[in-house]
Amino acid sequence: MSKTKRLMKDSGIEWIGEIPVGWEVIKTKFAASLYTGNSIKDEEKGLYEDPANAIPYIATKDIDVSNNSVDYVNGMFVKTSDSSFVRASSGDTLMCIEGGSAGRKKAKIDREVCFVNKLCCFHAEHIDSHYLFFVLNSPHYESEFQINLEGLIGGVSKSKLRNFLLPLPPLPEQQKIADYLDEKCGKIDLVIAKSEEIIEKLKAYKLSLITETVTKGLDPNAPMKDSGIEWIGEIPCHWHILRIKWLLNERNERSLSGKEEPLSMSQKYGLVPTRCMDTIPNMASTFVGAKLCYKNDLVFNKLKAHLGVFAVSHYDGLVSPDYAVYYSNTKVNLKYLEFLFKTPQYIGEFKKKSTGVGAGLTRLYTSDLYSIYCAFPPLPEQQKIADYLDAKCAAIDKNIADRQTLIEKLTAYKKSLIYEAVTGKKEI
């Protein structure tokens, strides 16, 4: 016997759309109380690190946007007897309402906490707390939140949030929907978590493969010798040790017309045309006199060399004055050198050699890069190692990309599942 199709009505709210007959649409302030937390003064920071009888103090950074979980032990703690901090209770939802994570970071807590002033607590009063949590996670609610962002930092005030409209089914149905989504989303989250775990293992394997290959070579039986450099350790007997200044020359050519392709460095993709970047940076009014690079040059972002932000270019074009451009002499294959420089040993040296006044302002200058020692095999062996790693890393990267695509699809499916359930479009 076919199931009778439920009767629907127009909610009058664009993001909610149609809802079942018998459901209501109410303002958030009639369903829950909303309040923000406290900021900690400088002199209070670190005073209550993990004491006995303490309450976690949750910051935005302690909420994982991918699975709405809270890290209760990573941050600070507040004494249970300290009444000066606002509390949230088990079952409440915390949402970031200001800054880059506004409207995206949220979590349902399962213990009493204190929290920062950029987080807003939704304390359910006339609505099931778990159903409310899923409504707040609806992609259409998140879109409504983004539309209402205000101010230079970007945020939505409590007063405005209190007037956001929510779909409200009868209480038994709220609980039924929450239980259904708990089960379905829980299974999706397990698959996503497993995929993320595998991705991290693949990344670790890739790094270990690169490190082993560029520091020991392709022949596991090759006789070894002490390099004489403590942080380099043993190398194959036929390899050489030289300072980088004998391997690289800096290119300082400048554009006469400014009409070449602007290029930007991406930690994920390497050096690519600026037009292909996910976020396009502000462009100069003219590129006349801009620094040139050519295909197969090794390009460093001097500000982020210690983060591995450098790559062999696949393009001719223009680069930022904060980039350093190098070309090879006859001793070294630059693709081999790029792999070598990505290893923890060399990243560690780049950190040591970078100079500046603080985080984000340190640079790896050419003279400091040139002072670093480098272990490398004969040129034909460098090419073999580079070709081998290119093939191996491409296979690993494809595996990672496939799993990331799966995560994206599951995340999208989870969001559509939540939206259909909390607006009554899918009958539970």
Same domain, 145 and 256: no
The pTM of this model reads: 0.82
- Count Cβ atoms below 10 Å from residue 40 Cβ, excluding itself: 19
Q: Say if 182 falls within a structural domain.
A: yes
3-state secondary structure of 131: helix
Residues 6+ apart with CB under 8 A from 147: none
pLDDT digits (tens, 9 = 90+) for 12-38: 998 899 999 999 999 999 999 999 998
Same domain, 24 and 160: yes
Q: Is the pLDDT of residue 414 over 80?
A: yes
Q: Say if 208 falls within a structural domain.
A: no
Q: Say if 2 falls within a structural domain.
A: no
What is the rounded distance in angstroms from the CA atom of residue 331 to the CA atom of residue 379? 6
Same domain, 319 and 400: no
Same domain, 345 and 365: yes
pLDDT digits (tens, 9 = 90+) for 153-206: 899 999 999 999 999 999 999 999 999 999 999 999 999 999 999 999 999 999
Q: Say if 211 falls within a structural domain.
A: no
Same domain, 271 and 335: yes
> What is the structure's pLDDT at 351?
92
Same domain, 176 and 149: no
Q: Which residue range forms the structural domain that includes residue 331?
A: 218-376
Residues 6+ apart with CB under 8 A from 308: 267, 341, 342, 347
DSSP conformation class of 54: E
Mean of all residue pLDDT scores within the chain = 90
Same domain, 25 and 114: yes
Strands (E), 294-347: 298-301, 310-312, 317-319, 323-328
Same domain, 173 and 160: no
Range from 42-51, 120-129, 162-171, 291-300 carrying the lowest mean pLDDT: 42-51
Q: Say if 206 falls within a structural domain.
A: no
Q: 34 - beta bridge partners?
A: 122
